[in-house]
């Protein structure tokens, strides 16, 4: 069926087309500018170096957060005093997880995901375990690195 009149005018059509083109152009330019101004934005480090004294006195069966790039890292002192470090970001949809000391598990409140003390996903929708990092003590520094990344600090 052919309409006797158009639903939009030629001017509206051309304005929409031109506006869409302008939006796409400036979005691309803005993205490029942001990548130039902040080249590490959104990237995660291979390791972080922390002050050991800030983490040495946390009680057993607790966690202390640290910055893993722009993400949450969790320094974890287990019940037996051994330590671990994990990325505190859920593997389902990237919500931050919290440690539940009474249950000795990590919990993601977004969709009720659970991880055990080793970071293994044990209940709920998370498809993979939490990322676990290597923890090394070097003098008064604490080096937290991705698995397999070897870090040597310059000697003073
Ligand atoms: S984001 Fe953690 S369970 Fe969905």
The reply to whether 153 falls in a domain is no
Hey, what's the torsion of the CAs at 101, 102, 105, 108, to 10 degrees? -90
Ligand 1 centre from 27 Cα, in Å? 30
66 and 22 share a domain? no
Ligand 1 centre from 3 Cα, in Å? 50
Q: Tell me, using a 6 A CB cutoff, whether residue 88 lines ligand 1.
A: no
The owner of tokens 């000795």 is: 104
The reply to whether 82 falls in a domain is yes
The upper half-sphere exposure of residue 86, i.e. CA atoms within 13 Å in the direction of its Cβ, equals 27
- pLDDT, tens only, 15-27: 999 999 999 999 9
Ligand 1 centre from 127 Cα, in Å? 9
60 and 136 share a domain? yes
Which residue puts its alpha carbon closest to atom 1 of ligand 1?
Answer: 93
Cα separation, 155 vs 137, whole angstroms? 14
The reply to whether 108 falls in a domain is yes
Nearest atom within ligand 1 for CA of residue 94: 1
The reply to whether 152 falls in a domain is no
**Dihedral of alpha carbons 36, 39, 42, 43, sign:** positive
The reply to whether 68 falls in a domain is yes
The reply to whether 16 falls in a domain is yes
Domain that holds residue 21: 1-39
12 and 75 share a domain? no
pTM of the model: 0.76
63 and 125 share a domain? yes
Ligand 1 pocket mutation pick from 90, 100, 131 by most atoms within 8 angstroms of CB:
90
The reply to whether 154 falls in a domain is no
Ligand 1 pocket mutation pick from 72, 100, 108, 130 by most atoms within 8 angstroms of CB:
108
**Average pLDDT of the segment spanning 5-11:** 85
- pLDDT, tens only, 83-128: 999 999 999 999 999 999 999 999 999 999 999 999 999 999 999 9
14 and 69 share a domain? no
Min mean pLDDT across 28-42, 79-93, 138-152 is at 28-42
Nearest atom within ligand 1 for CA of residue 93: 1
Q: How many domains does the chain have?
A: 2
């Amino acid at each position: 069926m052919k309409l006797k009149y158009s639903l939009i005018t030629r001017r509206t059509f051309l304005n929409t087309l031109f506006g869409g083109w302008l939006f796409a152009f400036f979005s691309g330019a803005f993205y490029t500018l942001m990548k130039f101004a902040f080249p590490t934005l959104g990237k995660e480090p291979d390791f972080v170096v922390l002050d050991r004294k800030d983490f040495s006195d946390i009680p057993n069966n607790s966690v202390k957060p640290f910055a893993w790039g722009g993400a949450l890292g969790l320094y974890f002192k287990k019940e037996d005093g051994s330590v671990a470090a994990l990325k505190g970001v859920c593997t389902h949809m990237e919500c931050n997880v919290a440690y539940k000391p009474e249950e000795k598990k990590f919990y993601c409140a977004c969709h009720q995901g659970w991880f055990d003390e080793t970071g293994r996903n044990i209940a709920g929708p998370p498809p993979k375990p939490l990322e676990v990092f290597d923890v090394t003590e070097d003098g008064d520094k604490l080096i937290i690195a991705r698995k397999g990344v070897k870090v040597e600090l310059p000697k003073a």
